[in-house]
Amino acid sequence: MKGACPMKKQILLWAIIFSLFLSGCTKEKQMNKLFAKIQTIEEEIQEAQEEIYRLDERESAIFEEITSFGNNDQQPIEQLVKEALHILEDKKQEMDLVIASFETAQARLADLEEIVSKGDIDIDQIRLMELIQKRYTYYEKMYDKQLTSINLH
């Protein structure tokens, strides 16, 4: 789950883009409000992603620790397995939050699409909206795979 830093850069880029889109047009104001809501949602997603990354690192450390024990070290292994299972539960909860946030953001994107369908919208806003949708599609697939992996444990 590397890439938390690029996510911060993306949010900063979004903030700049949003400020460029500010104008007197009502449709654009509506879109800007929706983009701002999406940005807030993405900040929540970023926090959850950072927690998932931290949990992934701890899970990896536990795995390395377990593999370093011999066959006679059953007691410490059992404790580490319990901790790893707890981490998996925490990761699933964080991922559920991310997925719920994506769903909320998807709803905001649908609102944006409705505004765009009414016409006369800046092409850059349309491109930004399409970019967001592509990213969410990618993230959704990634999180589905991670949830599948967690459920296999």
37-66 tens-digit pLDDT = 888 988 888 898 899 999 999 999 998 988
At 23 the pLDDT is 43
| Contact criterion met (CB below 8 Å) for 147 and 92 | yes
What the block records as the tokens of 83 is 């901790």
Tokens 């929540």 belong to which residue? 44
Given a cut of 50, is residue 25 above it in pLDDT? Answer: yes
Extract long-range pairs of 21-25: CB within 8 Å, 24+ residues apart.
Answer: 21/122, 21/124, 21/125
- Residue 132 makes CB contacts below 8 A (sequence gap 6+) with 38, 105, 109
